[in-house]
Amino acid sequence: MSKTNMTRRGVLKTGAVASAGVALPTIFTASSAAAYTNEPTGPNVTLGFNVPQTGPYADEGADELRAYELAVEHLNGGGDGGMMNTFSSKALQGNGIMGKKVDFVTGDTQTKSDAARASAKSMIEKDGAVMITGGSSSGVAIAVQGLCQEAGVIFMAGLTHSNDTTGKDKKANGFRHFFNGYMSGAALAPVLKNLYGTDRNAYHLTADYTWGWTQEESIAAATEALGWNTVNKVRTPLAATDFSSYIAPVLNSGADVLVLNHYGGNMVNSLTNAVQFGLREKIVNGKQFEIVVPLYSRLMAKGAGENVKGIHGSTNWHWSLQDDASKAFVKSFGTKYGFPPSQAAHTVYCQTLLYADACERAGTHNPCGVAEALEGFEFDGLGNGKTLYRAEDHQCFKDVLVVRGKENPTSEFDLLEVVEVTPASQVTYAPDHPMFAGGALGTCNAG
């Protein structure tokens, strides 16, 4: 860390308050001398990185932190600049943000909404964070997005895939680069039709929180439109580690496809249990039994090992992409950490650059000026091709990848292969689509 201009200001520990279930007041007031919440007046500007460092999504959180640190290093002029060199906007100069050196603080969300809100609140009130970003859970992202709206700071969502983040729970101060459940369904359905046909019976196991619910809804709708029948939808606790009792009923359900609406450690464990029960060797309804994992990641594939071979899913980005931006990011990340980045790392690195770039283009850290710069912003050169930050809901629209577990991986990182690059046009929906209905974007709050 001493080789860069990066300053790390510590990890906040808020779990005791959150775990006790204490409701924290969320009353924020900007200083009478400041034009907006935490307006930076000195030579530095502080960003808050709020990620799961413990809990079922901790692996994703660790990779997010690596990417955040890399982004800060690049913004402050260290390293090789990474995707700042390929980004279509040329506002970033490697001199911090608007000439202010970038500092950061971190917090542990514990993959719990209360803990995440307490952590973000502390970073805003005690550390002066002018922007909060992070999360590997949609429940966390939605909770923190709401807090940031109240506080008058920008929230650049990390890994959140629930439709609700930019649907019924969207906020004017919140922005999402990552794709969502609807997009996974739209990308996967044609591939599943070609692979498995239109006469299938699907059984869903679903993480019991906002992401799982909307992922299940999206995949069920997309596959039922093909002609598939949904046999059952069973919710599973996010804290579960053994899914045997949930897998056993699948055997006698008449289903010939198991859809695992699980992520992180949940997916690793549920897929492992499914394989242990011999599901992949079974013939049901005269068809080979199949398993689908709608939301995939390299970290999950590594955790599940050989069990992922041949299993299809979708992803926001993959390190094997050969565009100049992806290669630049993989090189930077690999040089610093010794292995390729995950999609979680990629999306939060992008979000950090996008925030900094918006500040530069707007000429301010004022969240309303930043929001205006992001709304309707079209860009390229960040690894996903041409991308739009839609003004109506603050959702990014870009290509979506369909991937499958490799049969013959060449290394512990070479576990997934891209089988389809689904164009943005195929996964784009109207802002008033029923799956995203309810809730208004509202107006920006500067504190």
Helix pair 343-362, 367-374: axis angle to 10 deg: 110
Q: Rounded CA gap, 74 and 49, in Å?
A: 16
Name the region of 394 (left: φ>0; alpha: ψ -120 to 50; beta: rest).
Answer: left
pLDDT attached to residue 34: 65
- Check residue 29 and give its pLDDT: 43
Cα 39 to chain center, whole Å? 27
CA nearest to 289, candidates 315, 250, 262, 261: 250
- 353 closest CA partner among 328, 334, 336: 328
Instruction: Report pLDDT digits (tens) over 333-362.
Output: 999 999 999 999 999 999 999 999 999 999
Distance from C-alpha of 163 to C-alpha of 158, rounded to nearest angstrom? 14
Question: Taking a C-beta distance cutoff of 8 angstroms, is the pair 296, 342 a contact?
Answer: no
Q: How far apart are CA 121 and CA 124, in angstroms?
A: 5
The first and second tokens of residue 269, run together, are 């464990």
- What pLDDT, on a 0 to 100 scale, did the predictor assign at position 98? 97
* Euclidean distance between CA atoms 355 and 130, whole angstroms: 11
Choose among 234, 308, 268, 246: nearest CA to 56. Answer: 268
Neighbours of 196 (CB within 10 A): 20
**Rounded Cα–Cα distance for residues 73 and 91 (Å):** 17
Kindly report, residue by residue over 183-231, the tens digit of the pLDDT: 999 999 999 999 999 999 999 999 999 999 999 999 999 999 999 999 9
Say what percent of the chain tops pLDDT 90: 86
Residues 42-77: tens digit of each pLDDT: 999 999 999 999 988 888 999 999 999 999 999 999
Amino acid 123: pLDDT:
98
| Residue 6: predicted pLDDT | 32
Measuring CA to CA, how many Å separate 242 from each of 110, 266, 267, 270?
19, 9, 11, 7
Alpha carbons 232 and 250: distance in angstroms, whole number: 9
Q: What is the mean pLDDT of each run of 10 residues along the chain (447 residues)?
A: 33 32 40 77 97 89 97 98 98 98 96 94 98 91 97 96 97 98 98 97 96 96 98 96 97 97 93 96 97 92 92 97 98 98 96 98 98 98 98 98 95 93 98 94 96
Tokens 């950490």, located at residue: 337
Tell me, what's the pLDDT at 426? 98
pTM for this structure? 0.91
Q: Could you tell me the domains of the chain? A: 44-179+319-398 (3.40.50.2300), 182-315 (3.40.50.2300)
In this prediction, residue 30 carries a pLDDT of 46
Q: Which two tokens stand for residue 61?
A: 């959180």
